[in-house]
Amino acid sequence: MALNAARRVTRADGRGQSARSFARHTDRFARRQIQPGVLRSPRDGRRPVLDSVFSRHRPTEGCASEVDFVASLSLEFDRLEMPIAPEERPSRAARARASAPSALSTATNSQLALHLPSELPSLEIEPEWKDQQRLWGHSFHPMCSYLASFPASLAHAFIARYTRPGDVVLDPFSGRGTTPLQACAEGRVGAGNDLNPFAHILTGAKVDPPTKADVKIRLATLRLAWVASSGEWNALADRIVADPGSDVLVPAPGSRPISGTPTDRSASGSIPVRPDTSVPAEVTLAFHPRTLAQLLYLRAGLDPDDRTDRFLLATLTGILHGKSASYLSAVMPNTFSMAPRYVRDFVARTGFHSPERDAFDLLEDKLRRLYRQPPPTTRGIALLGDARDAGVRFREALHDRGLPERARLVVSSPPYLRVVKYGYYNWLRLWLLGYDASAIDDLLDDAHHHDAYIVFMREVLSGLRSALADDAVIALVIGDVEMDRGRPAAGGVGLAESVWEMAAAPEGYRLAGIALDDVAAGRKMTKLWGDEAGQATKLDRILILATSEAGRRRAINGASLPIDWDWPPRRPRAL
């Protein structure tokens, strides 16, 4: 019914226009807006080489939106399908004047050449996600904090509008797994990808979790094994604390597996082979000796390839540091890791000694909070890799599971422009997992500038096409960046418009509109770095695209649909 109702589109002059001709002319209109030759196809070998290459990876009621869109097109576009009476035919002189470039088109071309955003249509989605409580959504969401992540309520606003149970929802920059987890919790197949191994562990733990019983049995097994071997680990921790930064070697992550895992090992059964290393002085200063001993024991004994152990590791990263008694170290906030030099200076200046905290007790408390809701009944997919080839890997993973190979929705937040270093601001959690923070930052290559960012985003959008349905909707949360290291950021304002004009449109995507998400400065994570950094991303623009004209109409018509904000969802009760 909705399909039949959408076959004709109302024009600004009130006449009917076929959807086929409307799509053809919309495509022609979109091509006129893009300056030819600004960016070439990724398949074009003549593409300019940039200094920075990215490894990473952000019945039709409401037809008034359609009318508004058509009315916004030029009168010349509207007349393409209208017969011209002889008396209306322009003279030769008039045609000559019309063929000359107008001031508007010249201004538009200059605007694109200077990377200045042009005015794009807005999509009036009511930002109801702002009205929800801070921890709205599934109880797994607050497993661990993660910089520059959007709330689960924002993901729900798009999942509820544009998908049905059983549909596939993708996020090529999954971060801590907000989109894929919320999709799984709502009966969809959530699939996330990230190049950061820390993000991959968080996403995998949430979308493919163990049962509550498995977690309780595993934790009890770890406690019993700790009692039997605690003397050895306590002695090791005492030697390290006696001389912080010394060359005392400790077992590498996963190198001393603790038997008794109730679930099967992964198919590969692989545990990363890492040499025994010393403990950095900043880690030693952050924890009480007894707490440090337990962390070394769990770090060496948990296997990240095992579903239950992976969940425990991800949970452990979430309680590693924070200012309350529910965290293992009180030397820094839970949102991100303070710089190693700050930890050294703070301890030396204040004589700080971290209180003794029992890792097993705090882990048990955190697990109880996470499992206050049942795990999602739909298993998701977590992939580790480059966002630019994520489309192919998504399809392969979905095919292997016998699931639909094309997604109807993408909700993602690409990396901000030169704002967050995910390795540096998670160095202590990465130490627990056995990764080097500087190596992670080199891998992610987040120090990107405007031109390289646009090329990267074009390659990401090009690679995703193979995994998207014909009517797929894509929502990209892209933050404005005003300041860069104390100076105005070049091309940082209106970045969403630039992504559309120079990345999405050349790859054949259709524009549904832009929705604004102005987050209060006090709620931005970057406020922790002071006034200047807090202004770095004052405004998020949600760029809403589609793979076809059908998807564009679906995005526009669904924007005004009411959705249910009750969580957990209310289900019929048995009589």
* pLDDT tens string 138-152: 999 999 998 878 999
Q: Where are the domains of the chain?
A: 2-57+59-82, 128-209+375-558, 212-370
pLDDT at residue number 376: 96
Average pLDDT of 24-28?
46
Q: What is the pTM of this model?
A: 0.76
Task: Give φ, ψ of 519 to 5 degrees.
Answer: -90, 135
10: tokens are 């109302």
Please state, as a whole number, how many other Cβ atoms lie within 10 Å of the Cβ of residue 417. Answer: 26
Most confident of 23-32, 230-239, 516-525: 230-239
d(CA 450, CA 503): 12
pLDDT at residue number 258: 84
Answer positive or negative: Cα dihedral of 138, 370, 173, 132. positive
129: amino acid identity, one letter: W
- 3-state class (DSSP) for residue 8: strand
Task: Give φ, ψ of 264 to 5 degrees.
Answer: -70, 150
Please state, as a whole number, how many other Cβ atoms lie within 10 Å of the Cβ of residue 562. Answer: 9
Average pLDDT of 150-163?
96
The hierarchical CATH code for the domain 128-209+375-558 is 3.40.50.150
Looking at the predicted structure, is the pLDDT value of residue 116 above 50? no
Q: Give residue 286's Cα distance to chain centre.
A: 30
pLDDT at residue number 134: 87
Looking at the predicted structure, is the pLDDT value of residue 83 above 80? no
Looking at the predicted structure, is the pLDDT value of residue 559 above 80? yes
* pLDDT tens string 447-490: 567 888 899 999 999 999 999 999 999 999 987 766 555 555 55
- DSSP 8-state class, residue 184: H
pLDDT at residue number 318: 96
Exposed / middle / buried, residue 69 (Cβ in 10 Å: 0-12, 13-18, 19+): buried
d(CA 421, CA 440): 9
Most confident of 141-145, 261-265, 334-338: 141-145
Average pLDDT of 68-90?
38
